[in-house]
Amino acid sequence: MKPKNTPKITKGDKTRQRILETATILMAERGPDAVSMREISAKLSITKPVLYYYFKDKDELIKAAFIEGTKHIKEINVAIETPGFTLEQKLEKIFSNHLDFIKRYPDMPKCALKIMASPEQGVLASMARDLKQRNRKTLKAMLDRENLPHRGSENILHMISAVITYFMVEARENGVASLQKDLPGRLARLITAGARNMKVVLAILLLTPLLASAAPQALTLDGAVNAALKSNASVVTAEETRRIYKERVREYWGSVFPQASVSLAWTRYLDKPNAAILGAKDANIYTGSLDVNQVLWAGGKVSTGIKMASIYSNASGEQLKTAQKAVARSVKQVYYSVLLAKAMAGVQKESLDLARQHLATIEAQYKQGIASDLAMLRQKVEVSNTEPALTQAQNLYEIGLVELKNLIGMDPEAEIDLTDGFNCGRRVPGDISGLYAAALAARPDYRNMRYQRDLYHEMVSIERAGHFPYLSAYASRQYYGSRESGFAQSPDRTWSTTAGVRLALPLFSGGSVSSRTRQAKLQEGIADTNLRELERKIKIDVKKAWLSMKEASERLDSQGTAVEQAHKALAATEVRFKNGLAGQLDLNDATLALNRAQTLYNQAQHDACSADAQLKWALGE
């Protein structure tokens, strides 16, 4: 029997493989949706027609890269069908195969994780779902043939998925070297032992810290805001203040009801007084009383106090809302700033990649005798000058993450992944005249200031009440007993009951009541002035945010076109440069123009979303 001939690898096969590997690396770094055919061709130093010769469009290239990256899964499905393999050996084979593949292709885990985060309606998401369903069906059929407890197959499938995800995340975060060679065997033994002894839950609990610790916490914009609202000191303080004033309402209501008290006293004469003057006195005297008092009229103090307590409670509620909205705005703006820093790091990385690609082109021309050593030296300097900008951008991104984690009360060492982008919407602000009224109706700080003015108005009534009579009713049940020794017994004790009405009429207080009344009126006037000033400030806030939103929206529209044009200009300049029709200065100028256009576009995205957050805050939303 003749041995099968090994298929000959042609030059075209090598080129196709290079294209797939390069596309995988770029998609791993930036995600499938963010990679263009132009970037792939520039990275490979080939023309677009050559690229389109092998793949008719980007979707076909992505599909081919996906298929290439999942070949090992078919190998696994064949391997686990080997007769005589135990469940532990099959699981170890699955884990080992994935680990070996990750070590051979270290960029694949990044690409796979980007695919997981791609839009659900995208071509990759659809392919990934189909592959997952087919693979799950194959694995379940294999597990169903094992003698497992109830739901054992389902539990093990979940664990297989968790382990593979852990491999990818750990390889992305800490490198493939962090994954020990014996890890597949240890995990296979642990899962198998748990399944055989109906303790899969225990195995999951043992594995969860290992698997979950490596995965960064996904953090949406709303999630960041909610976390900050739970831990921010100003919000917590405002919440406690609101509770205090709710209790104050109950306190003032207490003055409406009768006040009752009991008093008891025992007195002993250590040295008796002169009996001829005061009469004979027993050594021990016992007294007691039950007293009840009820305010009938106090010049409006009681009702006004209750009203003031209610106003305090409402004002504290508005203070809480003010703190919450301020924190939400701050978190949103910091979140957008971190997104901007991340985008700027991406721009700088692309600029560095372009500079290195251009250096490779010039070096190739130098070897052919087309470019001079001076041109090559200049481009090396260009690469060196671009590297610090990337380092600085990445550092700004990390600092921004620390600031965000501090704002929402997270540990600075916690790993987070911002899953939202600049998706604040592209709304264009409407007519500003209507926004003023909306802001005054919705802003909690404005309502709080109105409550403050109302408080001082009631304070005037409280102080003025000092001029009015004070009328109250009282009743008292009293006990009196005396005895030379021991406790008083009948007939040495007596009871009495009294009741009456008290009227207190202030005649002269040295002018203190009038002075406090005038102070309260002055404070009421100040509060009214502050309210009008806040109204003017709110209009200014709305106007500034409205202008910023309008300007950022217009700038975003124009910059989107500028980036597209800069990409085309650079591509044309690269072609001209390779054909000797453009100089190195033209190439670097086109690269710089693209960098600037992308920078301005990212800045416009950030400014639009930041202005949107500011406008929502100014409108009290």
Is there a domain that residue 571 lies in?
A: yes
Split at pLDDT 50, 70, 90, the class of 265 is very high
Q: Which one of 171, 198, 215 terminates a domain?
A: 215
Band (pLDDT 50/70/90 cuts) for residue 290 is very high
- The number of beta carbons lying within 10 Å of the beta carbon of residue 571 is 19
Q: Which two tokens stand for residue 178?
A: 């962090």
Give pLDDT, residue 121. Answer: 46
**Model pTM?**
0.56
Phi, psi of 504 (to 5 degrees): -115, 125
pLDDT band at 303 (very low <50, low <70, confident <90, very high): confident
Inside any domain, residue 132: yes
CATH of residue 562's domain is 1.20.1600.10
pLDDT of residue 603: 85
Helices of type H across 197-232: 200-212, 221-231
pLDDT value for 475: 92
- Total structural domains within the chain: 2
Is 246 part of any domain? no
Question: How many distinct helices (H) and strands (E) make up the chain?
Answer: 20, 6
Lowest mean pLDDT among 193-202, 299-308, 319-328, 329-338: 193-202
Count of residues for the chain?
Answer: 621
Instruction: Write down which residue in 192, 215, 238 finishes a domain.
Output: 215
| Dist. CA 462–CA 453, nearest whole Å | 14
Q: Are 109 and 172 in contact (CB under 8 A)?
A: yes
Structure tokens that stand for 340 in this block:
């901007």
Strands (DSSP E) contained in 484-548 are 493-504
Mean pLDDT of the chain: 77
Provide the token pair at 344: 């700027």
What mean pLDDT do residues 166-172 have?
Answer: 73
Q: Is residue 404 part of a domain?
A: yes
Residue 554 β-bridge partners: none
Name the residue range of residue 200's domain: 70-215
pLDDT band with cut points at 50, 70 and 90 for residue 199: very low
Q: Which of 215, 247, 282 is the last residue of a domain?
A: 215
CA nearest 98: which of 175, 156, 153, 160? 160
37 or 204, greater pLDDT:
37
- Specify whether 198 is located in the same domain as 336: no
In this prediction, residue 288 carries a pLDDT of 92
531 vs 71 pLDDT, higher one: 531
Same domain membership, residue 205 and residue 328? no
Whether residue 406 is predicted with pLDDT greater than 50 in this model: the reply is yes
Contact 547, 599 (CB under 8 A): no
* Domain-located, residue 454: no
Task: Indicate whether 352 belongs to any domain.
Answer: yes
What are the CA-CA distances from residue 499 to residues 35, 419, 505 (Å)?
92, 75, 20
Query: Does 428 lie in the same domain as 576?
Result: yes
In whole angstroms, give the CA distance from residue 183 to residue 91.
12
pLDDT over 60 (residue 123) = no
What's the pLDDT score for residue 200? 46
Residues 206 and 330 in one domain: no
Query: Which pLDDT score is estimated for 71?
Result: 65
- pLDDT range class, residue 160, cuts 50, 70, 90: confident
Query: Model confidence over 521-543: pLDDT tens digits?
Result: 888 888 888 888 888 898 888 88
Run of H or E including 550: helix 512-578
Is it the case that residue 262 has pLDDT exceeding 90? yes
Taking Cα atoms as reference points, which of 227, 77, 86 lies closest to residue 145?
Answer: 86
pLDDT of residue 29: 62
Q: Comparing 112-126, 152-166, 587-601, which segment has the lowest mean pLDDT?
A: 112-126
463 inside domain: no
Question: Is 396 a member of any domain?
Answer: yes
